[in-house]
Amino acid sequence: MEKTIKLNYINSLSSNLEKNNGLIQVLTGPRQVGKTTSILLLIDEHYKNSSYYVSADKVFNSDADWLTQQWIQAGQDKKILFIDEIQKCENWAEVIKKLYDENKRNKKPIRCVLLGSSSLEIQKGLTESLTGRFQQTHAYHWNFEESNRGYDVTFEDYLQYGGYPGSYNLRHQPDEWSAYVKNSIVNTVIEKDILQYQNVKSPALFRQAFEIIMGYPAQEISYTKLLGQIQDRGNVELIKNYLKLYEGAFLLRALEKFSAKIVKTKSSSPKILPLAPCFFQLTVQSSYNSDERGRAFEVVVGAQLCRTNESLYYWREGQHEVDFVLKKGKLIWAIEVKSNSSKSQKGLIAFKKQYPNAYIVTINPDNYFEFEKDPMGFLQAIAGA
User: What is 177-226 written as a DSSP string?
Assistant: HHHHIIIIIIHHIIIIIIITTS--S-HHHHHHHHHHHTTSTTEE--HHHH
Domain boundaries, the chain: 8-138, 144-383
Please state which CATH number belongs to domain 8-138: 3.40.50.300
Residue type, 265: T
Q: How many CB atoms lie within 10 A of CB 371?
A: 18
| CA distances in angstroms from 324 to 133, 165, 181, 239, listed in the order given | 33, 27, 28, 22
The whole-angstrom separation of Cα 71 and Cα 69 is 5
Residue 303, C-beta contacts closer than 8 angstroms, at least 6 positions apart? 140, 141, 143, 273, 274, 275, 276, 277
pLDDT tens readout for residues 292-348: 999 999 999 999 999 999 999 999 999 999 999 999 999 999 999 998 766 678 999
The whole-angstrom separation of Cα 189 and Cα 120 is 10
End-to-end alpha-carbon separation of the chain, Å?
A: 40
pTM for this entry: 0.92
325: Cα within 13 Å, side-chain hemisphere: 26
Q: How many CB atoms lie within 10 A of CB 19?
A: 10
12: Cα within 13 Å, side-chain hemisphere: 14
Across the 385 residues of the chain, what is the mean pLDDT of every consecutive 10-residue run? 77 92 93 94 93 90 91 91 93 94 80 88 90 94 96 97 97 96 95 88 89 94 88 81 94 94 72 97 93 96 97 95 96 94 84 96 96 97 83
Would you say 346 and 336 are in contact if contact means Cβ atoms under 8 Å apart? no
Strand-pair category, 80-84 with 359-363:
unpaired
Give the length of the chain: 385
- Among residues 33, 76, 34, 79, the alpha carbon closest in space to that of 54 is found at 79
Strand-pair category, 311-317 with 320-328:
antiparallel
Angular region, 278: left φ>0, alpha ψ -120 to 50, beta rest? alpha
- Among residues 156, 116, 170, the alpha carbon closest in space to that of 277 is found at 156
Q: Please count the helices (runs of H) and the strands (runs of E) in the chain.
A: 18, 12
